[in-house]
Amino acid sequence: MDSTADRITLPDLVPGGFVDKARIDALTDGFASNRANRIARNAVTSMGIAAAARDQRSVRAYKDTYGVSLKAAKTVTHQDKSGRCWMFSTLNVLRARALQILDVDDFEFSQAYTTFYEKLEKSNSFLERIIQTADRPANDRLVYHLTLHTASDGGQFMFCASILEKWGIVPKDAMPETACTHDTKYMNEVLGDILIRDAAKLRESAAAGAAYEELEMAKADMLDEVHRFLCCCLGEPPLAIDFDFEVGEHADVDASKVEITSDGRRILRDHGVTPLEILERYTHFDAGDYIELVSVPGDSRPFGHLYGIDWFDAVMGGRPLRLLNMEMPVVEQAVIASLKGGVPAYMMCDVGKRTLRGDSDFAGVLATDSLDLEGLFDIDLSIDRADNLDLNGTGLSHCMVFQGVQLDDAGEPLAWRVENSWGADQCKDGYLIISRDWWRAYGGDVVVERRFVPDEVLELRDSLPVEHVDPWDGFINYRAW
């Protein structure tokens, strides 16, 4: 009988250029003869890449001192083991409004309440798109993409805004976090199983000739079950609450609802108030007041164009995502105008790049020169930003809030102060210092109030036709979801 080696012929082997074993063996044999190689090997194997590459001389130059800095809430929010940064950041923007209206130094909205309706709305949009694509094969690229993203945690400012405008908002004590929001993995996994099962049923019914109206009725029953599941995981969301809260002397609230106690405290008592009434009275929020600006270069993403991402918006009947792509100085100056006006700004970036998150001395610094990876490994890591976006080297995957900026003599940003949602024990007491170069390499998405944007930019946003891109297009890379 022929040996295994004799039976292997060229067509049985994986085609393509293969690794040259002799060449690699020679490299291995000679690696330690180079002093720099030995130092790098010993440092990295002993303490890891980040600690070995940390450039102390560069990183210690970044300080938490800003010429423009907002007074933020006393406490820092914590998203725990979840991907709800976009929700926490949006609610942190609204929290700044509530702090001013209530004239207090701390307040927090319920993220669990918003999570409940986020999961419900995402379940609906997923099943709706399954119905809309029921005539396509399961291995169609769009169907495949949809089934990879059932009701995961990721999202956007405008997704959250649409949820708030429909369902309202409540204080955190009205619907506190649960075990399933502290760690969303298993809730998402079970919900995903429910939705994939339902998707199979809808596709089977469509293949058997069911009309759209029949599929919609079936979807409604499926959402009833999703609602019950979410109530078990998160508790029932309140339909109305008694809002009792100590407010400041200058609170912009209905004076008839304020009780002055014997010790002089001012207690707001707004009883039987609905979540939508809370949103209106204590945030004055209108999603139409906001504009989203991005700066993502590339041949397929020219500046001065308005984009929408098909098959992506999470709330059916809500506000669609619209991204105005502009040069970075336009984006930055809008944020600077917002901060000078006393208003924080939502942002997105790739927080995992060149981060010193676990560093005991400089955990709050994000800077391109904080880690000397090139020097440590003797490797040139430079890459064009457009190529990095196109080839999934980076992406806008984490949301935070701009709270301050240090400007140079020309009014250009040197460093940004950013509020995170990882709790006060992470970063620098919950905040990050982001250098100008780092933001320009790994950031580029902001949401600001329209009043801080130049008229000519608003004209583009309001008049340009929407150019539609696929959800897997390199325009915005949500790879971390």
Per-residue pLDDT of the chain (481 residues; tens, 9 = 90+): 555 555 656 678 888 899 999 999 999 999 999 999 999 999 999 999 999 999 988 888 888 889 999 988 999 999 999 999 999 999 999 999 999 999 999 999 999 999 999 999 999 999 999 999 999 999 999 999 999 989 899 999 999 999 999 999 999 999 999 999 999 999 999 999 999 999 999 999 999 999 999 999 999 999 999 999 999 999 999 999 999 999 999 999 999 999 999 999 999 999 999 999 999 999 999 999 999 999 999 998 999 999 999 999 999 999 999 999 999 999 999 999 999 999 999 999 999 898 887 777 787 899 999 999 999 999 999 999 999 988 888 888 899 999 999 999 999 999 999 999 999 888 888 899 999 999 999 999 999 999 999 999 999 999 999 999 998 876 666 543 3
Q: Identity (one letter) of the amino acid at 265?
A: R
**What pLDDT sits at residue 257?**
97
- What per-residue string of b and e applies to 347-364 under the rule 16 or more CB within 10 Å gives b? bbbbbebbbbbebeebbb
**What pLDDT sits at residue 167?**
98
**What pLDDT sits at residue 392?**
86
**What pLDDT sits at residue 478?**
54
| Residues whose CB falls within 8 Å of the CB of residue 358, separated by 6 or more in sequence, listed in order | 50
Instruction: Write phi, then psi, for 382 (nearest 5 degrees).
Output: -65, 140
**What pLDDT sits at residue 481?**
38
Q: Is the dihedral of CA 336, 341, 347, 351 positive or negative?
A: positive
Residue 172 and residue 95 in contact, taking contact as beta carbons nearer than 8 Å = no
Backbone dihedral region for residue 244 (phi beyond 0: left; psi -120 to 50: alpha; all else: beta): beta
- What per-residue string of b and e applies to 397-418 under the rule 16 or more CB within 10 Å gives b? bbbbbbbbbbbeeeeebebbbb
Residue 413 and residue 405 in contact, taking contact as beta carbons nearer than 8 Å = yes
Q: How do 241-247 and 413-419 pair as beta strands?
A: unpaired
Q: Tell me how far apart the alpha carbons of residues 40 and 137 are, in angstroms, rounded to a whole number.
A: 51
Q: What is the CA radius of gyration of the chain?
A: 26
**What pLDDT sits at residue 476?**
62
- What per-residue string of b and e applies to 116-125 under the rule 16 or more CB within 10 Å gives b? bbbbbbbbbb
End-to-end CA distance of the chain: 53
Q: Tell me how far apart the alpha carbons of residues 132 and 202 are, in angstroms, rounded to a whole number.
A: 10
Residue 445 and residue 422 in contact, taking contact as beta carbons nearer than 8 Å = no
**What pLDDT sits at residue 68?**
94
**What pLDDT sits at residue 230?**
98
| Residues whose CB falls within 8 Å of the CB of residue 331, separated by 6 or more in sequence, listed in order | 293, 294, 295, 444, 446
Residue 77 and residue 140 in contact, taking contact as beta carbons nearer than 8 Å = no
**What pLDDT sits at residue 361?**
77
**What pLDDT sits at residue 358?**
72
Q: Tell me how far apart the alpha carbons of residues 388 and 296 are, in angstroms, rounded to a whole number.
A: 10
Strands (E), 261-388: 266-273, 290-294, 305-309, 323-325, 345-349, 365-366
**What pLDDT sits at residue 228?**
98
Contacts by residues 38-42 (CB-CB < 8 Å, ≥ 24 positions apart): 40/376, 40/377, 40/378
CB atoms within 10 A of CB 302: 10
| Residues whose CB falls within 8 Å of the CB of residue 330, separated by 6 or more in sequence, listed in order | 293, 295, 454, 457
CB atoms within 10 A of CB 65: 11
